[in-house]
């Protein structure tokens, strides 16, 4: 009972697939596999059916008549299938471009082919503001593919992500993000330093630490010491000045709608991070705490410093608290301070990152939109738009029921 592959092509319309399958009602055939895609109104339906040899003619003729009645074409492949061992061990390759040119996509597919990989499926996840395609690839070694596509990303100006199929399976995941220069566009300590007149000195130390040239804990103490005497009220002004990275709110809103847990871990300061996390619906937040005495910063931090090891420890604790295995965690960051948590997570994403982090990450995203990470996770533009629509509806409902709001 070797399965037979039937491929139906033609103009799509409501009820076509139902009519084709209903034609097999009395045939005794079993569905082994099925896949369907519609592009610009043209349908391609593949049905892999198992049946007794004596039923094959009847099944084929039933489908042929049903396809003809719909003005469609039927192709039949009844050659016995031989499993290609290269098809084992599939990975997902996400391609993002703005725009996505045929030449760039050709470069990606050629790299895959040169490594012995086969593209089993291509699907579109988004058409704006980025064009995002997801390729299911079999037969290529994951590490070699990641290395080759990293080179292609640099050459072709594309963002390319490679990940194991297991990570893409839906279920509860934990997404852990860095804050400064990831969730937000700013470095909070530099905003505070403006009030102390030492912003440039602090920035120089920050950049060296993010490149991995300085020990983070040591550099943090040196920078915080420069803030001694700044009024604690300056932290309120800093909170108001913080700019979210484009797409950050959309990222959090969509993840929450789809049941993800979200955490932020920061080498910055809880006085700014905690209110920001609360406003975005973040489940867990960890940051350093600035010491305040008599209404002014003392130039010291309270408690253990959240450094690169501390970030990885936090990811592990948050995963355990959520009952989520490490292989279903995602870490996003931009600097050397994020290397340990990026390496620990099931998927490590370097977002517009320094070279030290890119080298450790599973994949890099270099567009300026944080919600592009959603596509790396296999989330479509339609799901993102649905989350936006839900948020607008919730906001409108809240406005109607708030005190003092006129009711119709």
In this structure, the answer to whether residues 206 and 230 fall within a common structural domain is yes
* Whether the predicted pLDDT of 165 surpasses 80: no
Residue 99: asked if its preceding bond is cis (omega within 30°), the reply is yes
Which pTM does this prediction carry?
0.77
> Which among 12, 159, 180, 313 is annotated as catalytic?
180
Domains contained in the chain, number: 3
Looking up residue 213, the CATH number of its domain turns out to be 3.40.50.1000
Distances (CA, A) of 162 to 143, 192, 385: 9, 38, 25
Q: 10 in a domain, yes or no? A: yes
In this structure, the answer to whether residues 268 and 317 fall within a common structural domain is yes
In this structure, the answer to whether residues 186 and 158 fall within a common structural domain is no
In this structure, the answer to whether residues 65 and 103 fall within a common structural domain is no
**Is 215 a residue of the active site?**
no
* Whether the predicted pLDDT of 86 surpasses 50: no
* Whether the predicted pLDDT of 185 surpasses 90: yes
In this structure, the answer to whether residues 91 and 200 fall within a common structural domain is no
Q: 400 in a domain, yes or no? A: no
Are 122 and 168 in contact by the 8 Å Cβ rule? The answer is: no
* Whether the predicted pLDDT of 60 surpasses 60: yes
The CA distance from 244 to 273, in Å, is 12
pLDDT at 207: 83
Residues 204-243 pLDDT 10s: 888 887 777 888 888 899 999 999 999 999 999 999 999 9
In this structure, the answer to whether residues 149 and 222 fall within a common structural domain is no
> Which among 159, 178, 338, 371 is annotated as catalytic?
178
In this structure, the answer to whether residues 203 and 340 fall within a common structural domain is yes
Average pLDDT, the chain: 88
**Is 180 a residue of the active site?**
yes
24 — pLDDT class (breaks 50, 70, 90): confident
In this structure, the answer to whether residues 211 and 242 fall within a common structural domain is yes
Note down the domain range covering 53.
4-77
Q: List the structure tokens of 1.
A: 């009972």
In this structure, the answer to whether residues 243 and 333 fall within a common structural domain is yes
Looking up residue 61, the CATH number of its domain turns out to be 3.30.70.260
Q: 26 in a domain, yes or no? A: yes
Q: 391 in a domain, yes or no? A: no
């Amino acid at each position: 009972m070797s399965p037979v592959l039937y491929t139906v092509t033609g103009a799509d319309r409501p009820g076509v697939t139902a009519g084709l399958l209903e034609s097999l009602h009395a045939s005794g055939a079993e569905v082994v596999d099925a896949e369907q895609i519609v592009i610009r109104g043209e349908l391609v339906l593949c049905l892999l059916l198992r049946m007794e040899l004596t039923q094959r003619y009847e099944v084929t003729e039933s489908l042929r008549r049903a396809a003809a009645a719909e003005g469609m074409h039927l192709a039949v492949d009844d050659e016995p299938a031989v499993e290609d061992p290269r098809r084992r061990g599939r990975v997902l390759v996400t391609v993002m471009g703005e725009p996505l040119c045929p030449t760039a996509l050709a470069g990606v597919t050629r790299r895959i082919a040169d490594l012995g990989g086969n593209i089993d499926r291509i699907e579109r996840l988004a058409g704006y503001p980025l064009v995002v395609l997801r390729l299911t690839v079999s037969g290529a070694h994951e590490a070699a593919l990641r290395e080759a596509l990293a080179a292609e990303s640099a050459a072709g100006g594309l963002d390319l992500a490679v990940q194991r199929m297991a990570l893409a399976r839906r279920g509860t995941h934990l997404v852990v993000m860095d804050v400064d220069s990831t969730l937000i566009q700013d470095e909070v300590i530099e905003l505070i330093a403006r009030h102390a007149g030492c912003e440039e000195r602090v920035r120089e130390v920050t950049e060296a630490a993010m490149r991995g040239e300085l020990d983070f804990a040591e550099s943090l103490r040196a920078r915080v010491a420069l803030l001694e005497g700044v009024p604690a009220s300056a932290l309120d002004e800093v909170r108001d000045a913080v700019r979210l990275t484009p797409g950050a709110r959309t990222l959090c809103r969509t993840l929450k709608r789809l049941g993800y847990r979200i955490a932020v871990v920061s080498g910055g300061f809880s006085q700014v991070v905690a209110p920001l996390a609360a406003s975005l619906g973040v489940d867990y937040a960890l940051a350093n705490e600035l010491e305040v005495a008599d209404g002014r910063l003392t130039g010291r931090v309270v408690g253990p410093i959240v450094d690169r090891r501390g970030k990885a420890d936090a990811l592990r604790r948050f995963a355990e608290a959520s009952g989520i295995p490490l292989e279903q965690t995602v870490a996003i960051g931009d600097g050397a301070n994020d290397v340990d948590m990026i390496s620990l997570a099931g998927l490590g994403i370097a977002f517009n990152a320094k070279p030290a982090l890119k080298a450790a990450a599973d994949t890099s995203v270099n567009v300026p939109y944080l919600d592009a990470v959603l596509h790396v996770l296999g989330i479509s533009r339609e799901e993102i738009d649905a989350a936006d629509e839900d948020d607008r509806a919730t906001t409108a409902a809240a406005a109607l029921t708030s005190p003092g709001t006129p009711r119709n």
